[in-house]
A and B are shown apart, each in its own frame.
Chain A
Amino acid sequence: MKSKTVVKLLIGITVIGGGMGYVVVQAMQSSWSYYYSVDEFSAAGPAAREHSFRLAGRVKPGSVVRDLEQVTLAFTLAGTTAELPVRYRGVTPDNFTEDREVVVEGRLVATGVFEADTLMTRCESKYQRKVN
């Protein structure tokens, strides 16, 4: 290859690569979400309030309360030892039932309630597609 071509190629790669890299890093930073179980989350202490989290746990039987006036769904997310109250506004997946493994995304608010903006069920079906 001629040296001119090499230089052109290098400049091209730097510009495109730099641009893409910048976009990728930006996108990553804003959508960073830690994946914890409820137990680990409760053990994490005050640090748990700082970030956006994705939590896995089980819907505690008997804890599901739907407030039709406020259009919210509240339930307790249970791990093996810890429990956490969760509040969610949005479309509930069809296979959301009590005592089912679910994953919620969101953050802890001052009241100690986990405000979820995504609710996914861990699907036992063949197509493990998430519904959010």
Chain B
Amino acid sequence: MPDLGQFALRLGLFLSSYALLVDLVGRLRHRRELLVSGRNATLAALLCLTVACGVLGILLVRSDFAVQYVAENTARALPLVYKLTALWAGAAGSLLLWLWLQTGFVVGAFSRVDEDTGRFCAAARAAANLVAVFFFLVLIFDKDPFRLSVTTPRDGAGLNPLLQHPAMVLHPPALFLGYAAFVIPYAWTFAALGVQGPGRPGVLLDRTRQWLLFAWMFLSIGIALGAWWAYEELGWGGYWAWDPVENSSLIPWLTATALLHCARTYRTGGKTSHWFMVLAIATFSLCIFGTFLTRYGLVSSVHAFPDPGLGILFLVLLILIWVAAGLLVVARWLGRVRSLRMIAARPEDGAVAERTRNTPHGQGLRFIVWNNWLMVLLAFVILAGTLFPFFSGLFSAHPITLKSEYFTKITAPGGLALLLLLGICPHLVRQGLGRGWRTVGAVITAAASLLTWTLAGSLAIACLVACAFVGVNLGADFVQRYAGRREGRTLRASLRWHGARVVHLGVVLAFVGIAGSSGFDVEKQVALRPGEQVQVGGLELTYHNLDAQHGPNFTAVVAEVSVRQGQRQLGKLTPSVAFYAQSDKRTSEVDIRRSLAGDLYLALTEADNSSRLINLTIFLKPLINWIWIGTILMVLGTALVFAAGLGRGRVTGALDTGGEP
């Protein structure tokens, strides 16, 4: 059985390399039969990957511990669903899943071989297959999911109980759906760069936009699930620790957000078109780099450099990608295309770009570019902070690490700037009512934010002030739309309009949650005996009793705590700790009283069975649930915009009309 999997991977490597070659030659020599062959080989590689994933799934479900991956990630007693989801619990399985998804997406997006778009698709497939070849190499020679154990253990190592949580089941595949789908804008960019002369740059642009929305949506879901899991399971009252693992998903998310804005406003030869290309390649590169960073432990190591092994292949791939992109740009330049901006532009498009400069659209682009710079700078600073220990280790005997304050100190003002930009720009762009007073409003808000920041020293208040401003602005947008005339609005345009605003509203709410929960949070650690009380932020907590519960393989102690506010009983909370006899592991289950105003979060830190003395960690997290609500809105809004783009029959979209910034 594992042999079949290994064979499928090797065949897949062959097919991908073949497709890469044939597509390139077919593309350059205008040979349609080669393009068909390349398309078919890519499809066949997808089949191989499907077989490999299937085989790994069967091995996991059958608990075939002869295979190292199965033994390391599952155990006999593990519930079936966790056995199956162990497919993405380890590095090997998740790389396989990524490659499978990616190849599937590429087949879905770039399978055309017709006269119009065949060569374009071939170039895009080639760019994607280049990545696939490297992934196959790593899967076959380094992170082989089908490698046999040296000795077959009687039972597997199992899955860390912390990870046995629904959010942790869905978090990795959501991330990988996102990472993998970013291959589409990346591949599209390569194809567009390769278009010589007066080509058709808008080919498949609509479709690429759709894929980008899909990717961004899943990456956001993945990040949010990870944060939610950390909050629910880890018991330290936070949801984001600026850990390299977390940062490596946030960095591409930032560039992807900038990319998304460029895609909405993409006009051939327009201001955002070269931004789009750079960001598309950067985002996908950062996805790959982040995986390399965390899966090979480049930064989490203590002292000695980890042996990156074949992980170096990822770096080689990244260098190749950027060199290839650079060469294509140079080739275009040598081909008498005057500047980057003119890439793939037809003469009349340039004229359009010129004409639109002073329209609302043209002004909107300016803000999009500001937004790009901010996002890219933030991504860069976070990346630098994440890699800092590694680089400082190169220059001195003692690596210097940055505490998480570094990240909060930088992202807080950066986020505030983004928020203000979000508050002004979508509205400034539209002509007519409100343009003046909104600018005035923005200036006042910015000044008020800065003042509260410097005077009160509280960035959280500054952020809430800005949130209020942006919220009012968004509301005004709705009022203006519904008060205005309605004729001439298509369903598509309406969906897109509402989608974009719902996303932005979600962002504002998430900011409210972040500011509230990190600016006004309370943490208290107390020792309590039965009957004792403690006051926290207007709440009165009474500790009643400690119960012991016996499960099949664990013993748990449960503390009973009642909460009162003034005369009102708010209910009981039961934080607990479970001790697993076999594995010497313990997991604490926090208990949270949720409300829109904020959470009361109790973690049982320690408990003494005989004296019933407990140590309780109490957190008050004001407004935190707005983060989750905001994220849900962001995802829903993206889904609306996605729906608006469904079923667009047009293959070409050189002159986009949908670009609402």
Contact = CB atoms under 8 A, between A and B. Distances in A.
Q: Do A and B come from one complex?
A: yes
Given A71-B527, A103-B302, A127-B245, A132 B406 contact: no
B235 A33 contact: no
Interface residues of B, number: 57
Interface string A74-95: 0000000000000001111111
Contact of A71 (B393, B399, B525): B525
Contact of B605 (A30, A31, A92): A92
Contacts of A122: 300, 302
Interface string B249-284: 000000000000000000000000000000000000
B505 to A, nearest CB: 27
A95 B393 CA distance: 28
Contacts, number: 131
Interface in B292-344: 294, 297, 300, 302-303
Contacts of A71: 525-527, 605-606, 615
B303 A24 contact: no
B236 A132 contact: yes
Interface in A28-53: 28, 30-37, 40, 52
A30 B409 contact: yes
A10 interface: no
Max chain B Cβ within 10 angstroms of own Cβ: one of A24, A52, A56, A127: A127
A26 interface: yes
Interface string B79-111: 000000000011100000000000000000000
Contacts of B297: 128
26 contacts: A16-B373, A16-B377, A24-B410, A26-B409, A27-B405, A31-B402, A31-B406, A31-B409, A32-B402, A35-B302, A35-B398, A35-B400, A37-B302, A56-B302, A68-B614, A71-B605, A71-B606, A91-B236, A94-B585, A95-B162, A103-B302, A125-B160, A125-B162, A127-B245, A128-B297, A129-B245
Interface string A58-74: 00000000101111000
B473 interface: no
B636 interface: no
Contacts of B403: 31, 33, 52, 105, 118
B554 to A, nearest CB: 13
Contacts of B401: 33-35, 54
Interface of A: 16, 20, 23-24, 26-28, 30-37, 40, 52, 54, 56, 66, 68-71, 89-95, 97, 101, 103, 105, 118, 122, 125-132
Contact of B587 (A26, A30, A34, A94): A94
A69 B89 contact: no
Max chain B Cβ within 10 angstroms of own Cβ: one of A34, A37, A105: A34
A64 B389 CA distance: 29
B300 A28 contact: no
Contacts of A24: 381, 384, 410
B608 interface: yes
Contact of A128 (B245, B377, B526, B605): B245
Contacts of B220: none
Nearest to B523: A90
Contact of A131 (B234, B389, B615): B234
B230 A91 contact: no
B586 interface: yes
A70 B407 CA distance: 32
B413 A94 contact: no
A94 B377 CA distance: 36
B73 interface: yes
A117 to B, nearest CB: 9
Interface in B608-634: 608, 613-615, 617
A35 B389 contact: yes
Contacts of B300: 122, 128
A79 to B, nearest CB: 11
Contacts of A35: 302-303, 389, 393, 398-401
Contacts of A91: 235-237, 603, 605, 617
Contacts of A90: 236, 525, 617
A94 B91 contact: no
A46 to B, nearest CB: 16
Closest 4 CB pairs of A and B: A27-B409, A31-B406, A31-B403, A31-B405
A119 B199 CA distance: 58
A40 B303 CA distance: 11
A20 B377 contact: yes
Contacts of A69: 527, 613
B38 to A, nearest CB: 36
Contacts of B230: 129
Nearest to B399: A35
Contacts of B246: 129
Contacts of B407: 27
A94 B588 CA distance: 7
Contacts of A93: 234
Nearest to B242: A130
B163 interface: yes
B402 to A, nearest CB: 5
B294 A128 contact: yes
Interface in B398-438: 398-407, 409-410, 413-414
Contacts of B373: 16
Contact of B585 (A28, A52, A56, A95): A95
B40 to A, nearest CB: 36
B584 interface: yes
Contacts of A20: 377, 381, 414
Contacts of B410: 23-24, 27
B539 interface: no
Contacts of B605: 71, 91-92
B116 interface: no
A20 B410 CA distance: 8
A127 B175 CA distance: 14
Contacts of B588: 94
Contact of A68 (B91, B162, B398, B606): B606
